[in-house]
Amino acid sequence: MALRNVAERGEIGAGAFAYGKRRAEPRRVILIVSSAGSVSERLIEATEREFPWVLVEQVDDVDAACRTFSHPVSLLLVDIGLMKDVEGASTRILRLHPQSLTAVIEPHGHGQNSSFAEILGSPLVRGMLPMNVKLDVWLSVIRLMLCGGAYFPPELMLQASRSGPPLPSHNGVSAGARIEGDGVAELTARELQILEMVSRGLQNKLIAAEFRLSEHTVKIHLHNIITKLGAHNRTEAAARYRNFQDRKSSALKEFRSTI
């Protein structure tokens, strides 16, 4: 049994290394703003093992987060109790970490419901990551956020929509819409073709050459795609496309199984 576990860990490690090498991801930082020990070392180690190009740093307060790190900060995970402090320092945070997506975590069992609407309405916070989820769920949400995607727990979204006024929106798109649909199906055929190539990591110049378009035309298409999806950038738009394709594939498999 012990040898098997070692082998399985080796396979997972090798797979993660191969994935990181294949993607040639630049080094990035996940910055946790919370008291020391609030996020377990096991969770941090699992995150760094799953994403070999990521370094996880932890600081105790918002002021300590307002500095440069060894690599660009791509994800800022903030204790829910420090949300006000983070919003107060939003100008500094955006200037020092322009590529970062900010999400709140709840490491100390604070009540979520009382502040959930406030979190959704925050102009800075674009996600919420509960600490009581399984490791595979945690890693999946981290992966989505590293791709620029927003995440809020579906059960809390449903509860908020039933018990209160319409949910606040980000970038003109309601929070509920991000859960129910991503708008990919509404894109034109050409927009879908371009988004598919973006999801494969191709740059505008190569996309333009593939479709015999000018780079300016490709940029216009991308602007329209991002606007229609309510995304913040091409990375998030590509993540929405991959999620759409995964759901479509799962639905097709389920349909075939019933025939």
Q: How many domains does one find in the chain?
A: 2
- Using DSSP bridges, classify how beta strands 73-79 and 101-105 pair: parallel, antiparallel or unpaired: parallel
Percent share of the chain, pLDDT over 70: 69
Cβ atoms within 10 Å, residue 124: 17
Domain that holds residue 243: 181-258
DSSP secondary structure, 125-184, as one string: EEEEE-SSS-HHHHHHHHHHHHTT--B--HHHHHHHHHHSSPPPEETTEEHHHHHH--SG
Which of 146, 173, 200 is the endpoint of a domain?
A: 173
pLDDT, one tens digit per residue, over 127-168 is 888 888 788 888 888 988 887 777 777 666 555 555 555 444
Answer for the pair 126, 170: CB distance below 8 angstroms, yes or no. Answer: yes
Statement to judge: residues 100 and 30 lie in one domain:
yes
CATH number of the domain that 217 lies in?
1.10.10.10
- Between CA 176 and CA 216 the distance in angstroms is 33
Strand partners, 73: 29
- Between CA 68 and CA 59 the distance in angstroms is 13
pLDDT, one tens digit per residue, over 17-68 is 444 444 455 789 999 999 888 888 899 999 999 999 999 999 999 999 999 9
Statement to judge: residues 13 and 139 lie in one domain:
yes
Query: In this predicted structure, which of 72-76, 129-133, 167-171 has the lowest mean pLDDT?
Result: 167-171
